[in-house]
Amino acid sequence: MTSPSPSELAAQLKKLGFRVLPDQLEDFLRRAKKGRWSTLAALAEMARLEEIERARRSLERRLRYARVGRFKPLADFDWNWPKKIDRHLLERALTLDFIPEGRNLILLGANGLGKTMITKNIAHAAVLVGHSVLFRTASELLDDLQLDSSELLRRRLKKYARPTLLCIDEVGYLSYDCHADDLLYEVINRRYERRSIIVTTNRAFKNWNVVFPNATCIVSLLDRLTHHADITVIEGASYRRRESEQEAAARRKQD
């Protein structure tokens, strides 16, 4: 049997779907020769390199798919700022123990109290351990579902039913037409008792009829959303307002 040249072997490996070895083959062969690796040791190292690369690519794909975006780490969160916050519940949520159970998490509170920051930290942690995650604002999700084609709508609903964790941010910041509650209900119903949802909202549930005027299924929607859910209320003044005041005070000192 004629041995292929390194370039020929690299091309064959690339055709077979290898990610690392084709570009590092000569260095790999040099290390194997220098280290006097056995055939088994060489194969084990080959598998290790490919496994690392595939895990890296998988993580990149999940991060792109999730669209979590930029966020501050929870280490920067001032737990003492809110007047009311269930730190124990939120830190437990960061362990992701609610995901295998298909439970939901609902963060309710005024603007600027860190609801989105906390949600993004949980979403990012879930991606890192291998979960599929989607992070969308309520307006992005509902705009994405406003379709004339029933077949295309069916496929989009499947997209939102599929991830292990769906994060719906800013429910209540805008009002929607009378069809929006039906679409949100479909998303929640398809995930009900199967996969987890995190919702952030600035409105108490009793006021969701303002967000979804003339809604026909708001009671059923909330019933499914809150049935297996941890609901936590955060109260206090806005972090953003505090930061703006601190920045203004710092500028006055410089002047």
Query: What confidence tens digit (pLDDT) does each residue in 159-169 have?
Result: 999 999 999 99
pTM score, two decimals?
Answer: 0.84
Residue 239 sits at the vertex; the CA angle it makes with 236 and 240, to the nearest 5 degrees, is 135
pLDDT at residue number 235: 95
Nearest to 166 by CA among 119, 212, 201, 203: 119
- Higher-confidence residue of 172 and 107: namely 107
For residue 238, what pLDDT band results from cuts at 50, 70 and 90? Answer: confident
**Element spanning 236, H or E:** none
For residue 245, what pLDDT band results from cuts at 50, 70 and 90? Answer: low
pLDDT at residue number 239: 78
**DSSP class of residue 84?**
B
174's CB contacts (< 8 A; 6+ apart) are 138, 139, 211
Does the structure show a pLDDT above 80 at 255? no
Which of the given ranges, 127-131, 173-177, 236-240, has the highest pLDDT on average?
127-131
pLDDT cut 70: percent of the chain above it: 94
CB atoms within 10 A of CB 32: 16
What does the alpha-carbon distance between residue 80 and residue 102 come to, in Å, rounded to a whole number?
30
User: Are 195 and 166 contacting, i.e. CB atoms less than 8 angstroms apart?
Assistant: yes
pLDDT at residue number 1: 65
What does the alpha-carbon distance between residue 87 and residue 68 come to, in Å, rounded to a whole number?
22
Summarize the confidence of residues 143-158 as an average pLDDT. Answer: 93
Describe the strand order of the beta sheet including 104-109 as a list of residue ranges.
Answer: 133-137, 165-171, 196-201, 104-109, 229-234
User: Are 239 and 114 contacting, i.e. CB atoms less than 8 angstroms apart?
Assistant: yes
Sketch out the chain's domains with CATH numbers. 6-64 (no CATH), 74-241 (3.40.50.300)
Nearest to 184 by CA among 210, 148, 146: 146
Chain centre to alpha carbon of residue 157: 17
pLDDT at residue number 209: 85
Lowest mean pLDDT among 15-29, 127-141, 217-231: 15-29
CA atoms within 13 A on the CB side of 193: 3
pLDDT at residue number 249: 59
Q: Is 110 helix (H, G, I), strand (E, B) or coil?
A: coil
**DSSP class of residue 235?**
B
Task: Find tokens 């020769």 and name the residue.
Answer: 33
Backbone angle region of 129, left / alpha / beta, with phi > 0 → left and psi within -120 to 50 → alpha: alpha
For residue 130, what pLDDT band results from cuts at 50, 70 and 90? Answer: very high
Lowest mean pLDDT among 13-17, 57-61, 198-202: 13-17
Question: In the predicted model, what is the mean pLDDT of the chain?
Answer: 91
For residue 247, what pLDDT band results from cuts at 50, 70 and 90? Answer: low
Give the strand pairing for 104-109 and 196-201: parallel
Which residue spans within the chain are E strands per DSSP? Answer: 104-109, 133-137, 165-171, 196-201, 229-234
What does the alpha-carbon distance between residue 225 and residue 196 come to, in Å, rounded to a whole number?
10
